[in-house]
Homo-oligomer: A and B are copies of this chain.
């Protein structure tokens, strides 16, 4: 069920993204590079979380598409820059050449910059169905989550930690910031658009943090046990960079238990607070645990 749901909503988000990219004409290499970097078979987890939040709150999901698309652009730019030779130096992502391999390094830097900048343009230009006050709150939340005190902070500590023995608090900082903040923010801005209560925001944020962590732990497991053909990048690439991971600190067996614990807790919160209405959130948590890519 959840796979079909993710696919359906993912396709709707991709349609929105495609429409926005069609508004750009020149330089062609940027337009092509933006499309290549974003429309590449990603899971669309972040934008779909926003739409799911609106559905849970009984609101019109059409209010969420511009913001959902902007969030996916920001997620994609972070991958483009993360893959660069100076950072993770990855040649493949989802079985295709990374953006710098396909377009060149200078081009990839500028394509990433374009995606980030265009995301803010979309937020300001396409949210005419929302009040200006809501739009500004959304821009504030997203720029915070994507910035120094969020995703980029996590990326920087990740880079600075390469080849070092890092402790658990540092690993947790990296995960909660590099991945977690951008999984939490679609739920937060969905709550702003859908006018959720304080209590609802609290439960949804707790859920987001748990699945964000589960997502990262599963990534670490897949980097050891995954299959190149399925995940689309070389196995063991994190180990090759001497990156700290959950398995490197806790061992593989304990890591798998931790994954299960996070997912169970996330499901419990939703079932208790939202009942049947939260079924996609429950299914998504299970999907994150079971996914093979």
Least Cβ distance of A131 to chain B in Å?
8
Each complex incorporates copies of this chain amounting to 2
Q: A116-B117, A152-B117 are in contact. Are A110 and B27 (CB under 8 A)?
A: no
Which of these, B34, B104, B113, B120, contacts A139 with CB under 8 Å?
B120
**Are A139 and B117 within 8 A (Cβ)?**
no
Task: Give the residues from 41 to 89 in chain A that come closer than 8 angstroms, CB to CB, to chain B.
Answer: 81, 84, 86-87
A24 to B147, CA, bound (A): 10
- Residue contact A121 to B109, C-beta cutoff 8 Å: no
Interface pair A152/B110, CB less than 8 Å apart: yes
User: Which residue of B34, B109, B121, B136 is within 8 Å of A135 (Cβ)?
Assistant: B136
CB atoms of A156 and B109 under 8 A apart: no
B125 touches A156 (CB 8 A): no
Q: When the two chains form their complex, are residues A109 and B81 in contact, meaning their CB atoms are under 8 A apart?
A: yes
A153 on interface, CB distance cutoff 8 Å: yes
**A230, B143: Cα distance in complex, Å:** 37
Whether the pair A152, B120 counts as a contact (CB closer than 8 A) is no
CB distance B114 to A86 under 8 Å? no
Chain A residues within 8 Å of chain B by Cβ, number: 49
Among A125, A137, A147, A157, the most chain B Cβ lie within 10 Å of the Cβ of A147
- A81 and B113 contact, CB distance less than 8 A: yes
Interface 1/0 per residue, A206-227 and B, CB below 8 Å: 0000000000000000000000
Q: Do A132 and B121 touch across chains, with their CB atoms under 8 A apart?
A: no
B148 touches A31 (CB 8 A): yes
Which residues of A (92-133) have their CB < 8 Å from a CB of B? 104-107, 109-110, 112-114, 116-118, 120-121, 123-125, 131-133
Provided the pairs A24-B148, A27-B153, A136-B132 are in contact, do residues A106 and B118 lie with their beta carbons within 8 angstroms?
no
Give the interface of A toward B (CB within 8 A).
24, 26-27, 29-31, 34, 81, 84, 86-87, 104-107, 109-110, 112-114, 116-118, 120-121, 123-125, 131-133, 135-137, 139-140, 143-144, 146-149, 152-153, 155-157, 159-160
What are 29 sample pairs from A and B whose C-beta atoms fall under 8 A apart?
A24-B148, A24-B149, A26-B149, A27-B148, A27-B153, A29-B160, A31-B148, A34-B148, A81-B109, A81-B110, A81-B113, A86-B105, A86-B106, A87-B109, A106-B159, A107-B159, A110-B159, A113-B152, A116-B116, A118-B143, A120-B120, A120-B139, A120-B143, A121-B144, A124-B140, A131-B132, A132-B132, A132-B133, A135-B136
